[in-house]
Amino acid sequence: ANWSSKPDASMASPEEPAVAVEEVQDSAETVIATVVAIVAGLIVIVIALGFRRKREAERVVAREKAAAAKRKAPPPGAVARADLSAVEKLARTAGADPDAFLAGLATTEVLGRLASPLSPAAAAAVRKALAGKAELPPEGDGAAAVAAALVHTHLRRGELPARLWPKRDADEAEAAVEAVAEAAVKLTRHGFEAACKGGSPEAARCLLQLLACLRLQRPAWDHEPSRRASEEALADAGLPLPRLAASASAASWMGGAGGAVSAGSVAMLKVRLSRAHAKEAAAAAKRGATSFAGKWSTANGRAPVRVCESYTCLVSRRGGPAGAEAMVGFLEADVLDPAAPTAEAELKIVAPLEAGEYELRVQALSLAVLGVEASASASLVVTPAPIDDADDLDDY
């Protein structure tokens, strides 16, 4: 027999199945790792998207809250009820002292808020410029000290340097002065009206004069340079200086006999202002100069008409058992025709409950020209209220 010791090629090697198994295992592990990586990546993406959506939702909520707060927040120059109440109290306690009233005015929330944009450098500059010209609160008073400085800057602008602020702060400072001055005018007007209702005649007159000064940017009603400046402004505009004389009368609104008024009934006060400068005003109107009041009127239901001159008339009452003088109210006398020799206005008032003879005092002042004023008085005789027998019988 021809036997060969060479192994048969058709017979499988015992090592080949082990290699194949290892390759399959490596392939399976690779697949699993790939799947795990893909799943992990998807999880990371989902988590990232979740965080992104959460941040976007938070931003939306924040924007909505900010928008709601902005809608609820008052406009920059809005005056809160607390400030109005404080000014009403201030008009009763310090209304007759303009410096004390301005110091109290500076403590209101609205003036402090409007003064807050002023930089420390600008605040220091204006305090230095006002030194010796105005009484200012200590710097330690914070916003109130800054607000007071800005109000006095507005009032005394003609006395201050042209370049008042550091250059980088000039625009912001001027805007703050304008905003504070506008709010101060509103608050002073409110204080004046409060004084007319429950304050003293001295306070009402003082606050009306202060209101004129704030509108005209003049430091004081009796400041002689300011009065001359008002006259010069009129002359530059081609307008005459108003020359007034006032008269007044009072009677029952129902036209009672002899002008007597029953206690507690309605009386009518009529005020007439005679204009000695009417011809000059008419001539000025022909040249195109017709108004310095900056006011419009819709009297008698007509279309708005430019007011040539306007005068605020304070009305107070003195006499009766108490003998003290008290405010009654105020009225506006407007001049629509520059050639009119007079301007007239009426005010309904309630007669005192106690019979007696009273004096109604009228003080007319201009808010457009410092120093222009006139005064008058009228007698008001109050008789006891009549007793209605029929009404009395109904009570039994």
Q: What are the DSSP E strand ranges found in the chain?
A: 244-252, 261-262, 266-275, 295-297, 305-307, 309-319, 325-335, 342-350, 356-366, 373-383
Q: How far is CA 125 from CA 146, 176, 199, 210, in A?
A: 11, 14, 37, 25
Q: How far is CA 94 from CA 137, 196, 201, in A?
A: 16, 14, 13
Q: Spell out the per-residue pLDDT of the chain, length 396, in tens.
A: 444 455 554 554 555 555 565 666 667 778 788 888 888 888 888 888 888 888 888 888 888 777 776 656 556 567 889 999 999 999 988 888 999 999 999 999 999 999 998 888 999 999 999 988 888 888 777 889 999 999 999 999 888 888 888 888 899 999 999 999 999 999 999 999 999 998 899 999 999 999 999 999 999 999 899 999 989 989 998 999 999 999 999 998 876 555 688 999 999 999 999 999 999 999 999 998 877 666 776 665 566 777 889 999 999 999 877 778 899 999 999 998 999 999 999 999 999 999 999 999 999 999 999 999 999 999 999 999 887 644 544 544
Closest CA to 190 of 173, 178, 208, 172: 208
Give dist(CA 287, CA 62) in Å, integer: 61
Distant-in-sequence, close-in-space partners of 223: CB < 8 Å, separation ≥ 6: 370
Q: Work out whether the CA dihedral 120, 124, 130, 136 comes out positive or negative.
A: positive
Q: How far is CA 201 from CA 18, 34, 194, 292, 313, in A?
A: 117, 94, 11, 27, 12
